[in-house]
Structure 1
Amino acid sequence: MKENKDFNKLVIFTIMVTMCLSAMVLLPTASADTINVPSDYSTIQAAIDNANPGDTIIVAAGTYTEDITIDKAITLQGANTGIPGDGSRGSESIIDGFITITGDGATLDGFAIESTFTSGGVVFVDIIANDVTFQNNVQTISTPSDCGGSTAVRVQGENGLIDSNWFEWTGCLRNRGDSFVFVDDGSDGTVVSNNDIIGARLITDLTATDTVTFDSNTITYDTSSWDCTDIIFVGGPAPFDGTLIMNGNTANGQPFSHSVRRSSTLHFFIDFNDATDFACNNAGLVMKDLGNGHFIVVNCLLIQDAIDAAISGDAIEVVAGTYNENEITIDKSLILTGEDKSTTIIDAESNQYGFYVTADSVDISGFTVTNFASHAVNLQDGLNSVISDNVFNPGIPAISAVQAFSSVSNVKVTNNEMYGVGVAAYMG
């Protein structure tokens, strides 16, 4: 009898478990919804407020005069979603207002953004969140003549993607500080790619851990009526050491591509005279990126700044002029070339050295090094360096033109003019 009771219990338990599992199968599962504007909600903001993370909001063509805040991981699709800003687009979903994005993982795709304002210092699209995608949009800004310090898109979060947009700025005659894309301090992993930028520049602040990529962007503008003529400004309130990667970009039809680790502020120009004027009149660090792995340093700058900004394997070409520098430290593999050895002059100002080399594969040519108290070139360490076609004339009592220590090997010192000094090698 007891066995029958146990069997009945087992049957009842089995039935209960089966019923519970069946109930679990019948429970509804959460799924992403699609919300339509204006059929479901008359405004974009109302649709955002009623959406859940993962939802998609489809906005029909038309004009929506409103400021919007995207505060969750949702996707907003305009009438031209998936179509690049320079592509063949149909009627637009137009947002006439300002946009703030505070939701991590949000996407804004396929809109036209139209903005008009009356004074400077305005941010039209402010991306504060991480992992935000802003793509396939057309943004046009009509401004007064004084629009200083305004920004079309500011990126403050990490890992943002600004891709395949068309940015056009009209009416601004005073552009000091204006930018279409401002990549702010702390926006590590941001990629700005495949954008057409008309009428403003790119600006980025890099911190010690930031890596920002500018890839395949096209910048077009007329610098004749502008206060600033640089195409990219890399700066910050203090010297940092971020990484700026530039590939396949063009400005007014001229290519510029380079990867830069910076230790202070950089300005990138497409016009050499603009770079020279800015350097001499503003005392900033300004270099011309030739787009082929070369930097140009102009008079009024420090050669050391160019070396610090370069990466191993770069070539730095120094135009004629007098550079009052001493102990110029070369700590990476570089080719350093003066425009003409008789007119590209390094004045060591009675200090010990002209160049101080601690790296392998350093080439130095085309300079006059003068007014050095010990050595024009001090080779402390490294292999396979070449010191050629220079003039070493201390003008004051000195020890040698080139000094090499025992850790240095396979160095070529050729075709140099030496006055009152020779070459010293220490083998101990």
Structure 2
Amino acid sequence: MTKCHIVYLACTAAIVGTGLGAAPTAAAHTTHVVHPGQSIQKAVDAAKPGDTVLVAAGTYRESVKVTTPDLTLRGAGADTVIRPSVKKAGAGTAVNSCAQAGNGICVEGTKDRRLKGVTVASLTVTGFTKSGVSAVWTDRLSVRNVTAVKNGVWGIAQERSLRGEFRRNTARENGDAGLFLANTITAEEGAIDTKGAVVARNHLEGNRIGLTVRRLRNLTVKKNHLTGNCAAVFVVGDENKPRAGALTVRDNRIVRNNKSCPKTPRLPALQGSGIVLTGAEDTVVTRNVITDHAGTSPLSGGIVLFKSMVGATSERNRISDNTLRRNSPADLVNTDTGKGNTFERNSCRVSKPAGLC
């Protein structure tokens, strides 16, 4: 090595060293480990922003409420199981509001301060009367590798939130939607701009509806696998403004969603529905594979455009480049009277009305 090289390396080392010295010291983050028989909630309450609560494999009988920003709640995989408590609270004992609402894990911000940066990962929530995971007023919530099974209403649900990410979750046999994203269920309001929420690579099976997107805008639903539900994907809007829509549903595999579900006050009986748009606008439905659906519901079919229950039409939606096979009564169904909806380059055989394929 020449003297010139030595001098160059020494100068470089000095610059790097100076840069490192000038950098602020990173805040120390703590991992709180919870073992069977211990309380997850106590560890969550003790955690500070940036901390991780790591829950070992085992069964935990409790509901967990998260209100600390930038907290990670992570299990050891599907064998970390959270179930409802079997104990009754004694007189004068404070009851977790998450448990009171019938939820397993609650991630809760407020209207004045959204809860930011929370992650829930790698665990199972099952047997709750309402939702396995429930989130409200959050920003950048990440839910991934969570298994939500046999909860009374929703597997994983989020309301009034921005930039959420739901990846590689499994939601099975929940009473309503496996995944439910909405503006709110407690008031009549226009759609929320989610600022880029993502629902990707989830497995949704055996629910009433695999995925419901209700009164939301600006999100992407991609590369999910939906099978065995009464209906796979619902994009739902109504007469409130802003309208639901301006979102993308792409590259999903949607197969045999032929479970039969009775009607509700809001919907007719469901069976054999792939993707349903009702009261939505400016939505792109593209490159999905949708096969083997059959039913006699007004909402049955591969891709269905349907006027909402309050009469709001779907407008300016683009249905393109999808592959549809063996869907009954048709691969493409448009009973909506809205304007500007287009059907382009779809590979299919039967449509109602004729001519959409």
Band the TM-score falls in, shorter-chain normalisation:
0.5 to 0.7
Task: Identify unmatched segments of 5+ residues in structure 1.
Answer: 1-24, 81-88, 144-149, 173-177, 224-229, 322-336, 340-428
Q: Provide TM-score, normalisation by structure 2.
A: 0.60
Tell me whether 1:238 sits opposite 2:236 in the alignment.
no
Aligned with 2:222 (options 212, 215, 230): 215
Cα root mean square deviation, aligned: 4.4
1:308 and 2:340 are equivalent in the alignment: yes
Q: Quote the Cα distance in structure 2 between the aligned partners of 1:277 and 1:222.
A: 13
Using a 3 Å threshold, how does the CA distance of structure 1 residues 183 and 114 change in structure 2: closer, same or farther? same
2:276–2:299 contact (8 Å) kept in structure 1: no
**Compared CA separation, residues 59 and 338, structure 1 to 2 (3 A):** closer
After superposition, where does 1:77-96 map in structure 2 within 5 Å?
77-80=74-77, 92-96=79-83
Letter in 2 for 1:101: V
Structure 1 residue 141: Cα displacement: 1.1
Quote the offset at 1:56 in angstroms: 1.1
2:49 maps to 1:62: no
1:24-58 per-position Cα deviation (integer Å, ceiling 9, x unaligned) = x9x9974111111139x921110111110001111
- Shift in CA distance, 238/124, structure 1 to aligned 2, threshold 3 Å: farther
CA-CA distance at 1:250 after TM superposition = 1.5
- Is 1:163 aligned to 2:160, yes or no? no
Q: Which residue of 2 aligns with 1:111?
A: 123
AA paired with 1:153?
A: I
Amino acid at match of 2:245: G
CA offset digits 1:380-406 (Å, max 9, x no partner): xxxxxxxxxxxxxxxxxxxxxxxxxxx
* 1:245 maps to amino acid: T
Cα 1:214–1:248 change in 2 (3 A) is same
Query: What are the residue-to-residue correspondences of 1:115-194 with 2, within 5 Å?
Result: 115-117=127-129, 122-128=130-136, 129-141=138-150, 143=152, 150-156=153-159, 157-169=161-173, 178-185=176-183, 186=192, 187-194=194-201
Give the conservation status (yes or no) of the 8 Å contact 1:257–1:291: no
Work out whether residues 243 and 260 of structure 1, in 8 Å CA contact, stay in contact via their aligned partners in 2. Answer: no
Q: Which one has a bigger Cα radius of gyration? A: 1
Match of 1:99 among 96, 99, 105: 105
Residue number among 254, 257, 280 corresponding to 1:262 in the alignment: 280
Q: Does 1:197 align with 2:204?
A: yes
Change (3 A) 1:253 1:338: closer
CA separation in 1, counterparts of 2:76 and 2:82?
12
TM-score when scaled to structure 1?
A: 0.51
Q: Secondary structure at the match of 2:133?
A: strand
**8 Å contact 2:215–2:244 — kept in the other structure?**
yes
> Is the Cα–Cα contact under 8 Å of residues 158 and 188 in structure 1 kept in the other structure?
yes
1:187-238 deviation line (CA, Å, top 9, x unaligned): 342111111111122111234xx21211111111154xxxxxx322212342
- Alpha carbons 2:238, 2:308 under 8 Å: kept: no
Q: Does 1:31 align with 2:31?
A: no
Q: How many Å separate the matches in 1 of 2:356 and 2:151?
A: 45
Contact map agreement 2:247 2:283 (CA 8 A) in 1:
no
* Whole-Å separation in 1 of the counterparts to 2:198 and 2:278: 15
Residue 60 of structure 1: how far off its partner (Å): 0.9
Deviation at 1:289, TM superposition (A): 6.1
